[in-house]
Each structure stands twice: as structure tokens, then as C-alpha cells.
Chains A and B, each alone.
Chain A
Amino acid sequence: MGIVMKKLLIYIKDYKKECILGPLFKLLEAGFDLIVPLVTAAIIDHGIAESDSGYIMRYGGVLALLAAVGLLCSATAQYFAAKAAVGFSANLRHALFAHIESLSFSEIDEIGTSTLITRMTSDINQVQAGVNMALRLFLRSPFIVAGSVILAFLMDAQAAIVFVVVVALLMATVFGIMAVSMPLHKKVQGALDRVLGSTRENLTGVRVIRAFHREREEEEEFEQENNFLAYMQQLVGKISALTNPVTYVLINLALVVLLWTGGVRINAGFLSQGKVVAMINYLTQILIELVKFANTIILANKALACASRVESVFEIHSSLGEGLAEQEEKNNFGDEGGRKARGKGFSGTSPSGAGRDVAGEKMRETSGGTASEVLQKTDKDVAGEKSGGQVIFKRAALRYRGASEPSIEGVDFTAEPGQTIGIIGGTGSGKSSLVHLIPRFYDATEGEVLVDGKNVREIPIDVLRKKIGIVMQKPVLFHGTIRENLLWGNEEADEEALKEALILSQSMEFVEKKERGMDTEVAQGGRNLSGGQRQRLSIARALVRRPEILILDDSTSALDYATDARLRQSLKGLSYHPTVFIVSQRTSSLRHADLILALDDGKVVGMGTHGELLETCKLYHEIHYSQFQKEEMKDGK
């Protein structure tokens, strides 16, 4: 158990003081608890025996005083324990969330979103409760047990032997039960995960389920999962439920033994009746504390099972880990001091002008290098010869984890800065996989991908991704206002830049109509917007960052042709000439691209301009005429 928690315990570091003070005050309270019987004994032995009512009042007062001091100690202990436990779980949640965010898609695909959510919520809650309990009881109970045993030995060693035996047996029982039930607790949590998964699935698929009126079958399936969970919980419950009765039986059989040996010792004159009574009291105290301890163990057991599940998430590392070389690069690129210096040098040397400032801002954002390099580049930029945005694929291939066939292979082409690259192909031909290699959503399993002459693996990931604006096939917006969503593209974008992006992406027409314009609330997942509106806003978000490389992954599929055409028109006119990748199934979207790649089953089967491909590539020809029947083309022209 120690090993399980070890890695998580670093998150309690900030609360060392609380972790020490909490149990300490708890021990103080326990100490007072051990004194109480002695005071009572004094009252009986002296107060009653000598009929001294003053003595009785004084010692009665001591009892009350002990109670009051005990209350203070214990309240203090509870406060420290609560503070440490709550702070610990807050740290842990923070770290876990940050860790999950760092995972790449291969890992998240593998674990599954719903599992991650249980880890994040109910598992950590359990761990928190466990830590809280542990700080309060894990020291107190053993302390009282040990104290009682020692006091018994001081009275009569021979009669006290049974104390040692019973404590050993109790430990064995408690840990034995724990060892058996621990793996079962894991299974219970697994079953709970599945119940959660079913619930989520049902909620996200509600329209389809209802359309096919499959509610009843869904319920039946849920019931199976649910019943299995209940079954597992009962199984574990049966075993855990042994703890209390077994400890009770053990301790009371010890009492029987104690009474027998006590009898023998009294008969032999080694022990007095009063001392036997005292020992019985201590034995009772041991029982009470051990029952508490056992209950704490059950809770701790649960908490540990949860802890190891949380920990297993930490053990999954992003497959995109940045190597040593990259770290060094990063220091050069992203080092705070360097950045400041660069910023300073810039404002010092260049005469201020709005256009220049924006360009400079961007340069600092997107490219690296020394201050002088930046300045040089900036000058070039102002002159309109921007050089960023070159993308080269060298025999790149991608095979997803666990897949038997590569999704794309042998992709070889060069996209010069400012060019428009079209990618076309059938469903599952690898179009998305190809563009996902550029921002390193996945790493090429063979060959390499270069951006501005550098292998993408050697560019720090945040630097790389800042160059790129990508719009996914499935448009995703987040809870918040439209403005907040757009600012994802570039936090420093001003009102003008946002408006420009909205106009360029053809979103302005509907955003304007909203009562609150850009401050309209977007529901979770953008559910209060139509598919087309979401797509356009996703494009606007990408444009806000004025990327060097713009990737549109089939992201106009929900737009009508007129809007789509206007959008393409406006992308052509972008002042900063990004390299544009358009993934599409419509030849009309691509016909003006500088280079079109036709993909079939992961392989490039045609490469060239629209005109060239119509002549040379059978696939492209076929796709094109499937969309425009020949005679209509004649009509149209």
C-alpha cells in the first residue's frame, strides 16, 4: 500500500505542517483518553475509600477539564486534517488534469474519456476522504492500542501475554481481509466505469436511440451493467463485512482467556481483583479502537484502490514526449528573458506603426531565433516577403497504434510558403491522417515531416502549433461566449482582428444577427449553433491567429455552395498569405489549388493541378465527374 500512495503523496507536500500537527493533536487527545481511567481509579481508591467529598469534587473537575482540553485538541486536529486532505486533493486534481491535457490522442483514444472523468471525480473524492481519515485515525488508534498493552504489562506480564497474541491475530485478520478485498475493489470500480460509460453513451446518442425507439433495449443493457455492479459490490461487501465480527470475536475470546489466567494469578496471589478489572477495561479500549481502525482500513482500502487507479493515469506518458534536444531548443525559443529582450529591442529600434506592431507581435509569437534574426525577419515581413510556412513530406507514413495497415504511406511532396494544397480522396483514404502529421497530433511512423526546413519532432510542440491554424472535420466550440472561443486562436487579438476573422470566415452574417453579437453565449459543444455556423466559427478561430499554415480538414462540409465559394474567395485574399491545406471531397473546392494530392487507400495516386489531374488521374477524374455531370459542365460554361 505504501508503494501505491508514494507517487501521489508528493501532492501533499505543501501541507507538511498540517500533516504533522493534525496527528499530533490527535495523539494529545488520545493521551488524555488514557488518563481518564487512572483519574477514575483515584476517585474510587481515595475519594470513596476515604469518604473525601472535596477530593471527589477536585478529581471530578479534572475529568471535566480533560474533556474540555480534549475537545480543543481534537477540533484543531480535525481542522489540520481537513485542510491537508482537501488541499491534497485539489493539488492532485490539478496535476491530473494537467497531465491528461498533456496526453496525445493515441493515449486518450486508448483510455477513453469516461474513464478519465471517473478518475478525475469520484476516485479523487475517495482518496481525499481516505487521507482525511488516515490523518485523524491512523496514529490515534495504534497509540491507544500500544498504550493499553504497555499499561497491562506494567500490571502483570504473564496475564498480559494474551494482549500481545490478540493484537497480532487482529492485525493478521485485518490485513488478510484487506489483501483479499483490494483487487475486488478494483473490479467494482471497473464495473462502475462501465455504468458510467453506458450513461454517457445513452445521453450523447439520445436522438438516434429514440428515432429507432431502442430505449427499452438500452435500458436492458444498462440493467445488465448495473446488476453486475451491484453483484460485485455485494461480493466485496460480504468480505469486508467480516472485519467487525471477527475482530469482536477475537478480542472477547481474549477476554475469556484473560479472565481465566487472571483467576489463576489471583488464586496464586500475584494479582489483585482491582487490577484484573483495570485490565479488562484496557482490553475493551483496544477493541473500540481496533473496530475504528478496521473501519478506517476499509475506507483506506477503498481510497487506495482509487489512488492506484488515479496513479495508473499518471503512469501513461504522452508518446509525443519532447527529447533532450528539443528541450534545449525550447530554452532558446521560449525562454522568458530572451523573449523580453527581443520585445525590448524591437520597440526600441522600429518606428511604431500599427501594421508593423502586429507583424512584430506575430513574429515574436510564431518564430524563434535571436533578437537580430527577428528584426531581420520583421523587416522582410514588412516588405511582404514572408518566408514561413513551408511544409515538406518525405516518404511519410502513419500507422495507428494497434492497426495492422498504415493509414498513409510514402507521402512525398513540398508545399511552398503561400501555396494552396488540395487533398482529395474517398472516405478513409487517409486525408485527415495526412494533415494530422503537420501539427504532430500523431507522429509519422516512417519518413519525416518538415516545417520550415526542420523536422517537426525537433520543433518544440508549442512553437510548432502556434504556426498552425487547424480546423477539424468535426467543429468543436466550447462553453463561453463567441468572443472567448475566438480568442483561443490568439489571446491578444483585438476587436478589429476578431471582426476581420468573422467577416473572412463568413460568420459575420449570423453573429451580427445575434442580440449580443460576439458576446452571445455558446452552449457546451456549441449545441445552440447549427453545424454550418460551428464550422464557420471554427474557421474564424483559426484565422484569428493569422497562422503561417492553415489547415482546413473538410471543414466546409456543412456549408452551402454559395457560402463555401465566398469563404474560399476570402481565404485567397488573406493579406499574410498562409500556406493553406484544404482537405475536401469536392473538386470545386480544390480546383484553384496550386497542388492537389489525390489519395486512395493511404497512397498518393495523383499529384498536380486541377487541369493536370483531370487528364492524368483516373481517380480525380472520376470524383470530379461524379459531382458535375458532363453535360451540366457544358451548360455551366
Chain B
Amino acid sequence: MGNRQTIKKVLLYIKNYWWLLFFSVFFSAASVICTLYLPILTGYAVDSMADAGRVDFSVLKILLAEMAVMVLLTGISQWIMNVCNNRITYLVVRDIRKDVFHKIQKLPVRYLDSHPVGDIVSRVIADVDQFADGLLMGFTQAFTGILTILGTLFFMIGINVWITLVVVVVTPLSFFVAGFIAKRTHSMFQKQSEVRGEQTGLVDEMVGNQQVVQAYGQEEKVLARFDEINERLKRYSLRATFFSSLTNPATRFVNNLVYAGVGIAGAFFAIQGRLSVGSLSCFLSYANQYTKPFNEISGVITELQNAITCAGRVFALLEEEEEKETAPGDAPEDCTGAVRFAHVCFSYTEDRPLIRDLDLDVRPGQRIAIVGPTGCGKTTIINLMMRFYDVTEGAILIDGRDIREYTREELRGRYGMVLQETWLKDGTVLENILFGREDATREEAVEAAKLSYAHSFIKRLPQGYDTVIQENGENLSQGQRQLLCIARAVLCKPSILILDEATSSIDTRTEIKIQSAFQKLMEGRTSFIVAHRLSTIQNADTILVMRDGKIIEQGDHKTLLSQNGFYAELYQSQFAVE
């Protein structure tokens, strides 16, 4: 994305706070005018004290009182301006973060599966933060700077046009130098940003899985990998930091040349009697005031450059293609639970087909079990049903309607899902169960917990249902977490139930109990059960035996056993005596 587009987008965000911006501009103008008026008053004051015994105290008193008022006005204006700028910056940043988060909800699962969590997190946090810093600096200094330049220009022309000309001709050099440096450093900042992202990714991966790292004594090797990235980061950072920090000295150099030029030219005018000494010193101080903002502005430019690079990365995320919602949203409330797979084909990558021509008709209330060796595409079927991924060919129909014609909310509202991975939210046990259906009452949640055999262990937790689950639910065992996930699904009373290896981390004794809960839950509901533990699926109406993305056998437990095929082989193997 080009810088211009990025800036345009930033401006769109700022637009929402035009009134704050208006205040900011107004008060910054007020403070600049007061600031510039102060030297004039000072000049008058100096004039009023010409020599010993010739000091005009009555004039001096009035002048000093005026000055005091000016000073106070400037202070107040500055403060209001600063507060406005803070507000704009932090509110804009808040809006951007909100939009990014919203965007994440809309991105296809495919995108999130293929991008490291750490990388996306670093955009939401570090990049946006850096952007905020740049923006704030830009606001506080850019506008004030420009006003100061214009104001001083005005006063200088009032004193001497020719010397003003000298200043105006030489100063653009400063811009040129700053622009030159900014251009060169942009790519360095970009590199720095990239390497930072890479490093965050590594830290995320390694710190998140510390147990394995330590179990294999890999601390040193991981550290070596970290150091390699760190070394690269150091190189890029040094370049970015050093070259960008040249901006100030370089522009200051130009300013000092301006100062020297004004000094020489002014002195010659003074010799010719066309400029008084007092006016010259006044000129010199204005020339200083004129060039200082150039320093600041070029500093701001580098900072903004960095900010825009970061914003660019954030906006790039915001630009990613969203999941499209093309469904009319008029699906009927009721759902019988009839599911049909019509010649479904699917592959994660174009060159490697996974599911080929899957054709299956499921009547309402049927229990479908899917078994097969790992990696045969069982979970992929679930991904397709949930529309985490879309079929490449063919269609899946629920109640005769293509699932792409349901909105995702309509579609997913029909399912209750329990996955192998037991993700829980940061929050209390109760909140996690209510995740299934937010309008449920506490009683209903407790009921669901009882049904899924979670109640007894929840009761024993320190604060019962109000126990806070730690990040990643580390104060619960894998099995307990799974029970909560089941309770969550139980609560939402779905038409179609999906259990993707749902009981794989629960012991069989508990599982038997849950089975009866599941039986109850499955009554009148279409259920899909992905399992490897065959004991859990013997009651299924239809068992699909999958291999390499295809259904190779189909039938109930008894039929399949009597066929003496792959299923029978799988089944026997669990009793095999080694």
C-alpha cells in the first residue's frame, strides 16, 4: 500500500474528531500568536530602559503587566491544545484497534490458520502503539511549527524584505535534506518492523511451549535462533535509528547557515544605515524562531515516516479480503437437521486434493460417526460443515438448502460443537458455559454442567462457578476443560451436534457417563461424531469409514463388522494382543 493511501486512511479516522481538531488548531494558533507577540513587547520594554537614570518605569509597568497576561494566555492555550491532541490520538488509535479486532472476526479461518498469532498481535499492539507516538508528535508539533513559520515570516517582512528573502531562499534546503533522509530511512524502518514481527513470532512460539523446550534441553538452541534474529534486528535498528537521527543535526546545520547569512547581510545593511542594531538583533531572534520549527518538523517527518510504515502494516491487515456474506438471511427458524453432502470436493492447497466426491445423505435425527486413520480428512468434513472453509466443488445442504445460502450466523446457530482442542475464555467457569448461549440463566448453565458431568468438579473449585479460569485454563486439567466445553455445547441446544474427537482426552469411565448425557442430547438431533475410540460410536446409525479423503465403507456397526473390511480390521486391532 502506498504512503498516500495510508495517509488518506488515517485522515478518515481523524475526521470523526474534527471538532477536537478544530479546538486544537484554534488554541495552537492562539498560543503561537501570543508567543510571537511577546518578543515585540520585550523589545519595547528594552527600549524603555535606555540608560542609567532614563528608565521609564510607568511604561515598563504597563508593558510587564501585558506580558504577564500574554504568558498566562499562552500557557492555557498550550495546555488545551495538548489535551485535544492527546484525545484525538488516543481515540483514533482506539478506533483503529477496534476496527482491526472487528476485522479479525471477519477474516476467513484460512487466513488466520496461515498467519502466526504473534505476527497479528504485534500489528494490533506494537505497530498501533508506534503509530500513536508518531501521530501525537505530528499533532503537537507540526501545526504549531507551520504557524510559527508563517507568523515569523510576516514579522520579518515587516522589518526588512531583503534579509527575509535570504532566509526564505536558504531554508528550503532544510526540507530537502530532511526529505532525502526520510526517503532513505523508510526502507530501513520497514525491515526493522519485519524482523521485529519475526522475533515476536519466535518468542510467542517458544515461551508458549516452554515445557517442551525445557524437556528437550533446547534452551540454548532456541536462544541461538533468537540471537540470530536479534543480531539482524540490531543491524537494521542501528541503521534505522542512526540515519533517522541525522535529520536533526543536518537541518540544524542548514539553520545555522541561515543564521550566519542573516548576521552578515544584516551587518552590511546596518553599516549602510538601512537597519538599526536593535532591529538586527530582533531579526536574528526571529530568524531563530523561524528556523526552529523546521528542525522540529523534520524530526516529526521521520517519526511520521515510521508511524506510516506501521500504519501501513495495520491497514494491510484491514484490507485483507473478508469472508463474504452473500446469503439473504431469510432461512427459516426451524431446522429438521437433514444434511446432504452432494459430490463434495475439497483441498487446502490447489495441488493436493483431500476430499474427493463425497456424497452422503443424512436424515434428521441420524447419528453419523466418522472413523478412519488420522489425517484421512475427518476433521476437514467438520471444517466444511461449519464453513470454516468452503467446498471447492459440490455443495453441502441443510434441509435442502445450500449452506452458502444461510448466513454464517444462521448456519452455525444450528450446530453445537465440541472440538478436541479445549479452548476456554479468560473468565469464570460460568461465563465459559454461558458462551454457548448468552441469554441462558445461571440455573440453565448449572443444569448443563450437571448433564455433562462437570458439576461435581466445578463444585469443588475454590469459588465454584465463579472461579476464574487462568489464561489457557491452566488451573484445570485437560479433561475438566473438555467437560466445560461439552457443557458449553449442551447449553446451546443445537439442531445438529458435532463432536470432533470430543472425548479423546477424557477417561473412559467419565466418558461412559457423558455418553448417556450425549445420548440424551442427541435425541431428535442429527449428530456427527468424529472418533477414533470405536467403543464410543457403536450405537451410531451410520458409520462412515474414511481413508485418504474418501468414504470406503458405510453402514452400522454390525454390518461393517460382517463385511470384514477395513472397519473390522480397525475394530479388531483394539483387542489385539501384542
Contacts and interface: CB of A to CB of B under 8 A. Distances in A.
A482 to B, nearest CB: 14
Interface in B509-537: 509-512, 532-535
Contacts of A288: 292
Interface stretch (B145-153, B160-168, B337-345, B405-413): B405-413
Contacts of B120: 199, 203
Contact of A530 (B211, B221, B375): B375
Contacts of A241: 79, 82-83, 85-86
Given A206-B112, A227-B94, A568-B578, A213 B67 contact: no
A291 B485 CA distance: 57
A128 B234 CA distance: 11
Interface string B454-489: 000100001000000011101101111011010010
A101 B213 contact: yes
Given A94-B227, A113-B204, 16 more contacts: A90-B233, A113-B208, A195-B97, A200-B117, A203-B121, A213-B412, A214-B438, A237-B87, A263-B45, A280-B46, A427-B507, A441-B214, A524-B205, A532-B375, A585-B508, A586-B508
Most central of B83, B208, B223 by chain A CB within 10 Å: B208
A230 B92 CA distance: 9
Contacts of B129: 122, 192
Interface in A126-180: 128, 132, 136
Interface in A353-367: none
Contacts of A63: 256, 259-260, 263-264
Contacts of A187: none
Contact of B436 (A89, A90, A212): A212
A201 interface: yes
20 contacts: A67-B256, A89-B237, A90-B237, A94-B223, A94-B226, A97-B203, A105-B210, A109-B474, A117-B118, A121-B122, A121-B203, A192-B125, A199-B101, A234-B86, A280-B42, A488-B212, A488-B221, A527-B113, A558-B532, A623-B507
B458 to A, nearest CB: 12
B203 A117 contact: yes
Contacts of A215: 105
B415 interface: yes
Given A244-B82, A439-B215, A531-B501, A267 B52 contact: yes
Contacts of A262: 49
B277 A200 contact: no
A505 interface: no
A112 B109 CA distance: 26
Interface stretch (A324-332, A383-391, A444-452, A469-477): A469-477
A44 interface: yes
Interface in B274-298: 277, 280-281, 284-285, 292
A68 interface: yes
Most central of A211, A474, A560 by chain B CB within 10 Å: A211
A249 B419 CA distance: 64
B218 interface: yes
Contacts of A429: 507
B281 A44 contact: yes
Interface residues of B, number: 177
Contacts of B206: 101, 478
Interface stretch (B9-17, B68-76, B393-401): B68-76
B263 to A, nearest CB: 6
Interface of chain A, main secondary structure: helix
A201 B203 contact: no
B68 A256 contact: yes
B374 A67 contact: no
Contacts of A198: 101, 426
A48 B271 contact: yes
B444 interface: no
Interface stretch (A52-60, A344-352, A373-381): A52-60
Contacts of A206: 104, 109, 112
B539 to A, nearest CB: 12
B263 A40 contact: yes
A545 B421 CA distance: 28
A410 interface: no
Given A213-B413, A226-B97, A626-B512, A128 B237 contact: yes
Contacts of B211: 105, 441, 472, 476
Chain A to chain B: the 8 pairs with minimum beta-carbon distance, closest first: A427-B479, A532-B374, A237-B86, A67-B256, A241-B82, A561-B574, A269-B52, A63-B260
Given A267-B53, A284-B285, A465-B215, A248 B67 contact: no
Nearest to B351: A515
A71 B549 CA distance: 70
Nearest to B70: A252
Contacts of B19: none
A211 B412 contact: yes
A105 B409 CA distance: 39
B576 interface: yes
Nearest to B66: A256
A503 interface: no
A557 B252 CA distance: 68
B18 interface: no
A74 B78 CA distance: 30
Contact of A48 (B277, B480, B512): B277
Interface string A540-566: 010001000000001001111111110
Contact of B505 (A280, A479, A554): A554
A44 to B, nearest CB: 6
Most central of A53, A83, A201, A284 by chain B CB within 10 Å: A201
Contacts of B116: 479, 524
Contacts of B371: 560
Contacts of B230: 90, 93-94
A592 interface: yes
Contacts of A199: 101, 104, 120-121, 124-125
B48 interface: yes
Contacts of B53: 267, 269
Contact of B60 (A40, A71, A212, A260): A260
A118 interface: yes
B217 interface: yes
Interface stretch (A3-11, A217-225, A574-582): A217-225
A90 B126 contact: no
Most central of B76, B417, B471 by chain A CB within 10 Å: B471
Contacts of B60: 259-260, 263
Interface string B209-253: 111111111110111001100110110011001100110111011
A563 B371 CA distance: 13
Contacts of B203: 97, 116-117, 120-121
A66 interface: yes
Contacts of A87: 234, 238
Given A120-B203, A427-B477, A428-B479, A259 B573 contact: no
Interface string B196-209: 10011111111111
A210 B93 CA distance: 26
B90 to A, nearest CB: 4
Contacts of A98: 219, 223
B426 A201 contact: yes
A36 interface: yes
A238 B83 contact: yes
A208 interface: yes
Given A125-B126, A202-B104, A86 B409 contact: no
B538 to A, nearest CB: 9
Nearest to B566: A562
A557 B501 CA distance: 9
Contact of B569 (A68, A222, A562): A562
Given A67-B256, A100-B207, A266-B51, A78 B246 contact: yes
B374 A230 contact: no
A249 B471 contact: no
